[in-house]
Structure formats: structure tokens, C-alpha cells
Amino acid sequence: MQNDPPVQASPASPVPGTKSSTGLDENVAALLSYVATWVTGLVFFLIEKNSRLVRFHAMQSILLFGVFFVGEIAIWIVSFILAIILGYISGILGTIAWALLSLVGFILFIAAVIGWIMCMVKAYQGQYFKLPFIGNFAEKFSQK
């Protein structure tokens, strides 16, 4: 009879067995807080009582998508107003302004998707991955 060699977990693998107050593993609950953008972030932030990891990622999800939605709305409003104003001066200026601000909105969208994917991966790995600017706020709000 031969013994099987021990299985070694990679350093990036999640820590199994650590449960949150939701009954899920901490890393799974932290991942799920990003799945449906700020909605699941809010749900997990409100129902999680014990796990700092889950509360941190839930708050970061709320802030990430809150900033994204506010930014997209602001860009859309500015684009619309500038396109109208510059369109009265010259049709081509209005078109250029609309195109440039639409490009900025698209870049913001791509950045949000990349951040979203990175956050989900890091949450599943059980890491406190802080996004620039909003990560500090998420950490501050999740400790209360």
C-alpha cells in the first residue's frame, strides 16, 4: 500500500473553511459581492456581521460601481450640453465634442470592467486588494 503525496496549495489559492456569517466561505462571499455590481455589494454589506474581508469587498463594490455610474452620468450630461452648444456654433465641433467625450466614457467603462475582474479574482483569493482612491474609503467604512 502506497501513500499518496501530499497536495500542496498554491499561494494564490483561497483559504478553505473560513466561514462568513452568511454561511458561505469568506472568499466566495467576497467574490459574490462583486457579481451583480453594487446590488450584491449592498446585500453582502448589510447581511455580513463578522467577516472583515467580505465587508471590505462589499463596500469596495458599492463604491466602485457608484463612482462608475456617477462618472458615466456626468460624462453623458456634459457631452450632451457641449454637443448642443458647440453644434450651434459649428456642426463639426459638436460632433467632435460628442465623440471625444464618448471616448472618455468608453475608457471609464473599460477601466471599471478591468477593476471589476481584478477585484473578483483577488476577493476569491482571499486578499484585501484596494483599488486606488476608493480602496481606502472601503477599508474605513467596512470597519464600522
Residue 119 maps to a domain: yes
Q: In the chain, what is the straight-line distance between the N-terminal and C-terminal CA atoms, in Å?
A: 54
pLDDT of residue 4: 45
Q: In whole angstroms, how far apart are CA 68 and each of 72, 73, 102, 116, 133?
A: 6, 9, 14, 11, 13
Residue 19 lies in a domain: no
Residue 5 lies in a domain: no
Domain count, the chain: 1
- Cβ–Cβ < 8 Å for 17, 25: yes
pLDDT of 26 reads 93
Report the alpha-carbon distance of residue 30 to residue 122 in Å, rounded: 9
Q: Strand, helix or coil at 19?
A: strand
Q: What is the mean pLDDT of each run of 10 residues along the chain (144 residues)?
A: 42 59 91 93 93 94 93 88 84 84 90 92 93 91 82
Residue numbers of the domain that contains 131? 26-142
Domain membership flag for residue 8:
no
Q: Which of 84, 20, 17 is nearest to 53 (CA)?
A: 20
In a domain, 47, yes or no: yes
- Residue where the block lists cell 472568499: 27
Q: What is the pLDDT of residue 9?
A: 38
Q: Specify the pLDDT at position 98.
A: 83
